[in-house]
């Protein structure tokens, strides 16, 4: 039987070979500190119309309820940063949605990693997740030593910034666990808070989701509230403002994932072409994209709200 240290080192090496930026390992346990925070966040209705956030409260705090007998949470990050941009005056899409939906790309790699673990270490019960289950991903990534949670509530790594997806593999195998980063390296910086046009960052690491541009343009299915008129700064799907202004993202480097490359038309369309976009063009550009979540009707709603 391999040592816990050897098991952890092997997994980290395989993760690197699969293209993951970071791999951190934490003991599967109850997230006691996060329980109070989550309860308060829900009580303030900061989740807006995302009623699913009220479900599975216990599972969000204890991974052993997702995988019986779980002993370890493996947290991973996958880079999506790109320096490619849409034309200056075009309505904007968040960088993470430029290419193929990350759920497919990252989940495929997680399954390969889990299968490799099972082939190498014998029978292991485990499940793979990337924004696809009631898991407090940022909390687990922090516990595993990958980074700290910034004032915008996103995970930040000193060497890579924050433009990456988070993913987890929960398994019933014991390993050597990483040490949580003790220091928050945001200091007195308030760049993300100051830059948010809708004042969605209402406290340190506290987001009023009902005011967040990403929520408004993606999650909200009803008409956009008039109070946000002229405050979306031309974002039609998602928003990168709080990350774009974060000083730590000067260390972000472009990804090398071919499936995240945008459809050529996406980087060419001007303001008028977006205004006149047809359902056929929408289907072609966003065939495998996360933008399909908002559907053609949702994107048109957002464009009309931007006066396009």
Active-site residue numbers?
131
Q: Taking CA 229 as the corner, what is the angle to CA 224 and CA 230, rounded to the nearest 5 degrees? A: 140
Q: Cα(36)–Cα(29) distance, rounded to whole angstroms? A: 16
Number of helices (H), then strands (E), belonging to the chain: the values are: 11, 10
> Which of 297, 164, 305 has the alpha carbon at shortest distance from 236?
305
Q: What SS3 class is residue 79?
A: strand
Q: What SS3 class is residue 201?
A: strand
Give residue 128's region: left, alpha or beta (phi > 0; psi -120 to 50): beta
- Contact call for residues 270 and 87 (beta carbons, < 8 A): yes
- Dihedral of the alpha carbons of 122, 124, 128, 133, in degrees to the nearest 10: 180
Exposed, middle or buried: residue 32 (CB in 10 Å: 0-12, 13-18, 19+)?
exposed
Q: Cα(114)–Cα(180) distance, rounded to whole angstroms? A: 23
């Amino acid at each position: 039987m391999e040592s816990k240290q050897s098991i952890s080192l092997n997994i980290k090496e395989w993760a690197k070979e699969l293209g993951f930026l970071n791999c951190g390992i934490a003991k599967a346990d109850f997230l006691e500190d996060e329980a109070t925070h989550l309860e308060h966040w829900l009580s303030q209705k900061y989740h807006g119309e995302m009623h699913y956030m009220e479900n599975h409260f216990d599972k969000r705090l204890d991974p052993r309820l997702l995988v019986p007998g779980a002993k370890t949470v493996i947290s991973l990050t996958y880079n999506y940063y790109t320096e490619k941009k849409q034309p200056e005056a075009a309505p904007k899409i968040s960088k993470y949605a430029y290419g193929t939906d990350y759920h497919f790309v990252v989940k495929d790699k997680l399954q390969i990693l889990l299968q490799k673990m099972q082939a190498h270490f014998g029978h292991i019960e485990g499940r793979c997740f990337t924004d696809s289950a009631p898991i407090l991903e940022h909390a687990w990534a922090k516990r595993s030593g990958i980074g700290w949670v910034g004032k915008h509530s996103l995970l930040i790594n000193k060497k890579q910034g924050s433009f990456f997806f988070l993913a987890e593999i929960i398994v019933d195998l014991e390993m050597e666990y990483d040490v949580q980063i003790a220091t928050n390296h945001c200091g007195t910086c308030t760049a993300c808070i100051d830059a948010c046009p809708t004042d969605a960052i209402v406290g340190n690491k506290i987001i009023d989701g009902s005011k967040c541009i990403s929520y408004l343009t993606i999650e909200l299915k009803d008409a956009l509230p008039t109070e946000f008129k002229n405050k979306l700064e031309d974002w039609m799907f998602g928003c990168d403002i709080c990350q774009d202004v974060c000083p730590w993202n000067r260390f972000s480097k472009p990804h090398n994932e071919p499936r995240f490359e945008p459809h050529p038309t996406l980087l060419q369309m001007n303001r008028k072409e977006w205004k006149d976009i047809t359902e056929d063009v929408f289907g072609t550009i966003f065939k495998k994209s996360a933008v399909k979540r908002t559907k053609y009707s949702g994107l048109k709603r957002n464009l009309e709200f931007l006066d396009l």
